[in-house]
Amino acid sequence: MTTGTAAKPAVTFGSFTINRVLKASPEQVYAAWSTEEGKKRWFKAPKEGWEQLERKFDFRIGGHERLVGKWRSGMVTDFDCLYRDIVPNERIVYVYDMALDGKKISVSLATIEIRPERVGTRMTMTEHGAYLDGYEDAGSRERGTNAQMDELEATLQA
């Protein structure tokens, strides 16, 4: 017997690719991802309305990264990452969980490709996400990741 309302799927999927040509060498781009100092400069929440609660950074195959913060609204976001493949100055592959207020909303696979270009470096980021238990991303992950890539680019140009 049906009630006339469709149940939300337990898992929905999404993917996106972001391409940037950065005015920096492959080594500089890689350092922005692979060093704690470099990543702190751009991998963060917007300038206001967010307080960092926890940050861990262990960049190596099998290494763990975590960034937890609380928004002005009281919502807590939790990025929990495991590095799966690293080729210095060429490729970074990681998996990560995202949680909101302690509830896991997604599991994603992200790949960063770094290639020299005539005018700098082409960085391609591809992400495949599994969104869990009714969480509707509606493109917010891609928008947020693009904003982070804007910060990365600004950091490299500074």
Domain boundaries, given as residue ranges, for the chain: 11-157
The answer for residues whose C-beta is within 8 angstroms of residue 85's C-beta and 6 or more apart is: 61, 91, 92, 93
Cα–chain-centroid distance for residue 35?
15
Helix (H) or strand (E) holding 32: helix 26-34
pTM, 2 dp: 0.90
How does residue 100 score in pLDDT terms, banded at 50, 70 and 90?
A: very high
Angle formed by the axes of helices 140-157 and 26-34, to 10°? 120
Domain 11-157 falls in which CATH fold? Answer: Alpha-D-Glucose-1,6-Bisphosphate; Chain A, domain 4 (3.30.530)
Would you state the structure tokens that stand for residue 91, as one six-digit string? 């490729």
pLDDT at 6 (0 to 100): 62
- C-alpha 58/C-alpha 102 separation (Å) is 22
Q: What is the pLDDT of residues 49-98, one digit of tens each?
A: 889 999 999 999 999 999 999 999 999 999 999 999 999 999 999 999 99
